[in-house]
């Protein structure tokens, strides 16, 4: 796991938490080579999600009233969810079809957690992400069968 990838995954944490603990977390993650990188990656994303939920819960009223009514932010989030869904779908497809794993999809998967600020947005991202992932996976599976993509 490269330092760049860890730094990217650390974006899932809130900014102030990242500033306070980012160096330490990166150090521990980089030195724990005995564990599987994917397990480490998942744990970091999970940790970032928990921190964001904790912060959102601590200031729910302000976050909901300021962030949610803005159509531009909602549209941006929806676009990022779409990209994340496709990215995740491609990643899953590559995993399932035993292709060599690339990191091209990782930024899409991370962005969704960075921009969502409230529990409502998280829920929306989760639902849309899962739906788009399922759709992308179906499309890719069909393409694989008919066109021979991802042999």
Partner 1 sequence: MPGPAPLREPTYFILAALLDQPRHGYAVADEVEAMSKGRVRLTAGTLYGALDRLLTEGLVLVDREETVQGRRRRYYRLSDDGRERLALEVERMEQAVAAAGAKLRGARRRSASKAATA
40 is a contact residue toward partner 1 (CB under 8 A)? yes
Contact with partner 1 (CB under 8 A) among 2, 35, 65, 76: 35
Total interface residues for partner 1 by CB under 8 A: 24
* Least CB distance to partner 1 at residue 138 (A): 31
Nearest to 81 by CA among 33, 131, 47: 131
Tokens of 21: 């603990």
2 is a contact residue toward partner 1 (CB under 8 A)? no
* Least CB distance to partner 1 at residue 78 (A): 28
Nearer to partner 1, 39 or 70 (CB): 39
Sequence-distant (≥ 6) Cβ neighbours of residue 7 within 8 angstroms: 22, 26
Binding mask 49-68 for partner 1 (x = CB under 8 A): -xx-----------------
Nearest to 29 by CA among 47, 16, 53: 47
Contact with partner 1 (CB under 8 A) among 11, 32, 115, 126: 32
Contact with partner 1 (CB under 8 A) among 45, 81, 105, 125: 45
Sequence-distant (≥ 6) Cβ neighbours of residue 57 within 8 angstroms: 119
d(C-alpha 33, C-alpha 37), whole Å = 7
d(C-alpha 83, C-alpha 60), whole Å = 27
Contact with partner 1 (CB under 8 A) among 5, 11, 14, 47: 47
d(C-alpha 98, C-alpha 33), whole Å = 23
Residue found under tokens 């849309």: 128
Where on the chain is the footprint of partner 1 (CB under 8 A)? 17, 21, 23-29, 31-32, 34-35, 39-40, 42-48, 50-51
């Amino acid at each position: 796991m490269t330092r760049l990838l860890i730094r990217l995954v650390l974006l899932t944490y809130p900014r102030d938490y990242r500033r306070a603990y980012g160096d330490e977390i990166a150090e521990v993650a980089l030195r724990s080579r005995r564990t599987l990188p994917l397990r480490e990656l998942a744990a970091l994303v999970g940790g970032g999600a928990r921190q964001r939920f904790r912060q959102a819960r601590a200031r729910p009223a302000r976050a909901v009233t300021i962030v949610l009514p803005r159509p531009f932010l909602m549209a941006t989030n929806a676009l990022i969810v779409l990209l994340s869904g496709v990215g995740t779908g491609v990643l899953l497809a590559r995993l399932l079809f035993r292709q060599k794993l690339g990191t091209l999809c990782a930024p899409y998967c991370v962005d969704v957690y960075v921009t969502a600020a409230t529990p409502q947005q998280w829920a929306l991202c989760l639902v849309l992400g899962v739906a788009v992932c399922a759709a992308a996976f179906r499309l890719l599976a069909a393409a694989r069968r008919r066109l021979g993509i991802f042999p």
